Amino acid sequence: LEGMMAAAPCSLLLLALLCVAPAALAAPRTLVLLENVNIRETHSLFFRSLTDRGFDLTIRTADDPSLSLIKYGEFLYDNLIIFSPSVEDFGGNINVETISSFIDGGGSVLVATGSDIGDPLRELGSECGIEFDEEKTAVIDHHNYDISDPGQHTLIVADPENLLKAPTIVGKSELNPILFRGVGMVADPDNPLVLDILTGSSTSYSFFPDKPITQYPHAVGKNTLLIAGLQARNNARVVFSGSLDFFSDAFFNSAVQKASPDSTRYPKTGNYELALALSRWVFKEEGVLRVGAVSHHRVGEDTPPSAYTITDLVEYSIVIEKLSDGKWVPFDGDDIQLEFVRIDPFVRTFLKKNGGKYSVEFKLPDVYGVFQFKVDYNRLGYTHLYSTTQVSKRRHANDTGTGFASHFSIPVASLNIYMWGFFLH
């Protein structure tokens, strides 16, 4: 019995470690759907970058009959990669509807297409506010093509200046020019959630490269999207690349130079760095925020009262953290606002960073009722941060009535006269 008692703490400790370990060591479960098995080799650097960061990759061909995203109502994966541009029918129980449900459930999706794009990916793009050009079309630019282009001017040299100004999404470092060969996209103008991550130049357009132009192209100039993204209202993220080649080892390692006089030759493209940044964002390694501790109280006190009184001087504070290299660290922002709201905001003020938290002191307005401390932070590239705390506010005990209710009080004498007149009628 003594030995069992001595072993019990060790057993409990082991049990606790076993319970915590899966959460601490859980690798993001990622389903990868390929056009063919060769893509595993031709795009090996990209896949290796994911496994090096701890991703658990399940690699299948897109028509594998055993495919499944959902089982018994639960998602089997956290992320989905589709490197199968021409797929016409997914295998198993995967289709556009299940992928849309996966996104609605908060899943992250990375899609790479090409000029041979099939209907399923076109339909998925449409669901996300992205419209692809027709099959067999390509982005063409007669002024910004690579020196190794075979003659159709579809091997595009994209200028990093055409990237979205969002370091959280595209990375913080300066990039070399980007190689792109594939299909063009345009964004739905009625969908404010679509992100123009990489656009063509003012001289680019999308059309059939082996046909004369007989009609206005689907996409022209900077409306031509090469890479697009979406962050849904539930914080699910999706990235569409019109080029599967963009993620290839060949494009990662290629030298790049525009076929124009006096152009600069770069020993390597910026594709690898951009692909890594995009994957970190879409798979929620970057740009993820959370709310920590929230507190409010009268200035000079430590705990919140059961109710505030009008004109109290209060202090509000909130801890905001961001995910960085798998760890939660303090977020650094200078544009976070607090609102003190009943129906409309009565107070709107900036929060100031104070150590590991953001705080502010302010005087409550001379109005009582039920209010909320509200932080609603929505910035490009970051998950939507929302925090509300409800409080009540009353008059001072010796207040004779200058607030909301006093405007609706009726003198007793006047009420009696009104009622007497009513009965006489």
23 pLDDT band, cuts 50/70/90, is very low
- What is the percent of the chain with per-residue pLDDT over 90, rounded to a whole number? 76
Taking Cα atoms as reference points, which of 196, 174, 175, 201 lies closest to residue 186?
196
Q: Read out DSSP for 165-225?
A: S-HHHH-SS----EEE-S--EEE-TT-TTEEEEEE--TTEEEE-TTS---S--SSBGGG-E
Counting every residue, how long is the chain?
A: 425
Rounded to the nearest 10°, the torsion over CA 354, 356, 360, 361 is -80
| pTM to 2 decimal places | 0.85
pLDDT at 169 over 50: yes
Averaged pLDDT of the chain: 88
pLDDT of 397: 57
Q: What is the pLDDT of residues 244-301, one digit of tens each?
A: 999 999 999 999 999 999 999 999 999 999 999 999 999 999 999 999 999 999 999 9
pLDDT at residue 92 greater than cutoff 50: yes
All domains of the chain in start order, with CATH: 17-282 (3.40.50), 289-408 (2.60.40.1930)
